[in-house]
Structure 1
Amino acid sequence: MSKKHIGSSFDAFLEEEGIRDAAHAHAIKRVVAWQIEEAMKMQSVSKVEMAKRMKTSRAQLDRLLDPENDKVQLDTLQRAAAAVGKKLRLEIV
């Protein structure tokens, strides 16, 4: 093939389908859940201990760590980050 790129970009495809914003939000949630899980692993923090640190239930923590569940409140994310010695940083660009 002589052409380096064929067709539109993936972002353009998502935009055409009307799902760009939803896909972006879902991707962000997956990354945040993964980062929290990785921090827990690095510090050998169990889910039970993490829930205690966050002053929440194990079920709530499971919802937070579920990459498919994008209905997580900002204060929950902040508590999770603090529980593993991190800060949540949001930015509007």
Structure 2
Amino acid sequence: MAKNKHRGSSFDSFLDEEGMLDEVEAIAIKRVLASEVAAYLLANDVRKAAFAKRIHTSRSQLDRLLDAENPSVTLQTMVKAARGIGKKLEVSLG
């Protein structure tokens, strides 16, 4: 029986070995932000067009942010969206 080379390793190390860690982390971060923004819009009865205008971005850019499967969103839009819901987006190098 072949020994599993991933046994005992972390999921992060597996993703890193497969060359997928950066992409998976970026998508996870974006999904958290998208979820927070969507919850804010719903809880405060704010329309997407009004929110996009308030944070000085386009409705299409906001739609890209809110689409959990779409990784195409700029860091600038993410910062604006976080500020728009009263939060601060923090990026750190660990």
User: Aligning the two structures, in what range does the TM-score lie when normalised by the shorter sequence?
Assistant: 0.7 to 0.9
Partner of 2:17: 16
TM-score, normalisation: structure 2: 0.77
TM-score scaled by structure 1?
0.77
CA displacement at 1:16 relative to structure 2? 2.2
- Using the alignment, how far apart are the partners of 2:54 and 2:74 within structure 1? 17
**1:82 corresponds to:** 83
Cα shift readout 1:20-78 (whole Å, capped 9, x = no counterpart): 12111111111111111122222221112111212222111101111122222222112
1:60 maps to which residue?
A: 61
**Structure 1: 5+ residue stretches without partners:** 1-5
In structure 2, the residue matched to 1:41 is 42
Point out where structure 2 has 5 or more consecutive residues left out of the alignment: 1-5
Counting aligned pairs with the same residue, the percent is: 49
RMSD of equivalent CA atoms: 1.9
Aligned positions, number? 88
